[in-house]
Amino acid sequence: MLSSSTILSASSDVVACELDGGAALLDLKSGSYFRLNQTGSFVWSLLESPRAFGELFDAMAGHFDVDAEILSQDLKALIGSLLERGLISAQS
């Protein structure tokens, strides 16, 4: 389960580039491509350095005008998806 102190970081096996306002990710281990929208791309750029989930939330809240509960749910869903695919790692 994600807590505000969970440290998240991008996998060193993933290469990213900007693409049409979002980002394209290539997982070098699997050869799979993933596309992120503008919001996901913003999160990915923050994960270039390890960050606590709470830091990601605060950065998103300061950058996007969105209800805190919706932001929390959406950010947890994105992080969960990235973790499931092995694109990022988490340390409690």
pLDDT digit string, tens, across residues 68-83: 999 999 999 999 999 9
C-alpha 67/C-alpha 73 separation (Å) is 10
Record the tokens describing residue 7, joined without a space: 């440290």
Mean pLDDT of the chain: 95
C-alpha 73/C-alpha 54 separation (Å) is 13
| Strand order across the 22-27 sheet | 14-19, 22-27, 32-36
C-alpha 70/C-alpha 92 separation (Å) is 23
Q: Is the pTM of this model over 0.85?
A: yes
pLDDT digit string, tens, across residues 1-46: 789 999 999 999 999 999 888 999 999 999 999 999 999 999 999 9
How does residue 92 score in pLDDT terms, banded at 50, 70 and 90? confident
